[in-house]
Amino acid sequence: MAHAAGVRLPFEKLPAAVRAWVERSLGSVVVSAVTQQGGFSPGVAARLVTASGRRAFVKTVGTALNPKTPELFRQEITAMQGIGTVPMAPVLYDVYDDGDWVGMLFEDVEGRLPAHPWEQADADRVLGALEELTDALDPSPWPDAPVAALRSREFLSRWDKVLEDGLAVPSWMEGRVEEFAELARTGLRELAEGKALAHWDLRADNIILTEDSVVFIDWAHPALAPRWADTVILHADMRGSVTLPALPNDPAITGFIAAIGGGLWWGAAQPAPPGLPTIRTWQRESALVHLDWVRERTQRS
């Protein structure tokens, strides 16, 4: 299953004021900027090298590219500042916000994205690192982090919208939408009890593998949730391509999976937002992964 991708802007096309901030922060003129692909956000995402040899990674976006993305970047800035130093997360150097353009400068992490579809060796390595990350984030180092069940309530309650809009569902689900809506409500209630900090957006394109470590990037959505939340999210990205350890037969986990599936299914039926032309196809494909997973866990055909 391919990921959606934003439309990237070359570093050279940034407004002069934003480029000046980058060079001022790095203390030298940028001589190389290599655009990085992957991820949902439009705007600039580039690995930089300055005349002095300093390296960094910049991500920045303006409202004209997508009116909602700058607010997500502000959310990530707040999160990174709230979390502080987290094992296996990149170091934030500096931030920029002129009310229109918002940007972040990070350390440049030398490595690669995991193969996608996933390969077993990468999956095993990342799941092992996620166990270490979860231990480091439980209890949360950011006590004032948003509560996932509250912040994502609308997304995780979308089976009600599916019913209201009369959206078609896979044939095997006909007559079961109410059941899935109830499962989602169960998952949402249990999700609200979690005290660990979850990354909340784990996919192959939010992970970098270096020679000796795993780095989890794009911390725009961290929130308080049960310890199992990130594992469920990552398993969904890996399903169908590798062998995965079984998750507990817990109604809360099944309900969480059902809730994500509903959010994605309803979202896939909406018009694509500016700058993100492939997101609806990705949402539909991902929704089907979650729905099949629930069918498997509820042991019904």
- Asked whether residue 199 falls in the same domain as residue 258, the answer is yes
**Which of 33-47, 153-167, 263-277 has the highest average model confidence (pLDDT)?**
153-167
Q: Which of 106, 136, 161 is the last residue of a domain?
A: 106
Token pair 């991820």: residue: 39
Whether residues 154 and 40 share a domain: the answer is no
Whether residue 59 is contained in a domain is answered as: yes
What phi and psi, each to the nearest 5 degrees, are found at residue 232? Answer: -60, -45
Asked if residue 260 and residue 131 are part of one domain, the reply reads yes
* 6 or 207, greater pLDDT: 207
**Over residues 274-297, mean pLDDT:** 93
Residues 54 and 157 grouped into a single domain: no
Answer yes or no: do 95 and 163 share one domain: no
Categorize the per-residue pLDDT at 122 as very low, low, confident or very high, splitting at 50, 70 and 90: very high
Position 40 confidence tier, pLDDT thresholds 50, 70, 90: low
Same domain, 76 and 193: no
Q: Tell me if 141 is assigned to some domain.
A: yes
Residue 113 inside a domain? The answer is no
pLDDT higher than threshold 50 for residue 225: yes
Q: Give CA–CA dist 276/90, Å, rounded.
A: 25
Residue in 147, 46, 66 with CA at minimum distance from that of residue 106: 46
- 4 occurs within a structural domain: no
Considering the domain architecture, whether residues 265 and 162 belong to the same structural domain is answered as yes
What are residue 197's DSSP bridge partners? 224
Name the domain boundary from 82, 106, 130: 106
pLDDT tens digit sequence for 81-94: 988 888 899 999 99
For the four alpha carbons of 16, 22, 24 and 30, in that order, the dihedral sign comes to: negative
Out of 71, 106, 141, a domain closes at: 106
Question: Looking at residue 128, which CATH number applies to its domain?
Answer: 3.90.1200.10
174 and 233 assigned to the same domain? yes
> pLDDT band at residue 42, thresholds of 50, 70 and 90?
confident
34 with 132, same domain: the answer is no
- pLDDT recorded at residue 8: 82
For 148-164, write each residue's pLDDT tens digit: 999 999 999 999 999 99
From the list 233, 230, 78, 228, the residue with the least C-alpha distance to 145 is: 78
pLDDT at 4 over 60: no
293 and 208 in a common domain = yes
- Which pLDDT belongs to residue 35? 93
Q: Which amino acid does the sequence have at 101?
A: W
Is residue 53 in some structural domain? yes
Query: Confidence class of residue 293 from pLDDT cuts 50, 70 and 90?
Result: very high
Identity of the residue numbered 44? V
Domain that holds residue 155: 120-297
Tokens read off for 244: 């995965």
CB 189 within 8 A of CB 204: no
Q: Would residue 221 count as lying in a domain?
A: yes
Q: Are residues 100 and 154 in the same domain?
A: no
Across 83-87, 188-192, 250-254, least confident range: 83-87
Average the pLDDT over 52-80 and give the result.
94
Does the pLDDT value for residue 66 go beyond 50?
Answer: yes
Note whether residue 84 is domain-resident. Answer: yes
Q: Are strands 30-35 and 44-50 parallel, antiparallel or unpaired?
A: antiparallel
Q: Residue 96 is part of a domain; what is its CATH number? A: 3.30.200.20
Instruction: Name the average pLDDT for the chain.
Output: 94
Percentage of the chain exceeding pLDDT 90: 88
Calculate the alpha carbon distances from 21 to 18, 56, 67 in Å: 5, 13, 22
Inform me whether the pLDDT recorded for 97 exceeds 90: yes
Domains held by the chain: number: 2
Whether residues 65 and 206 share a domain: the answer is no
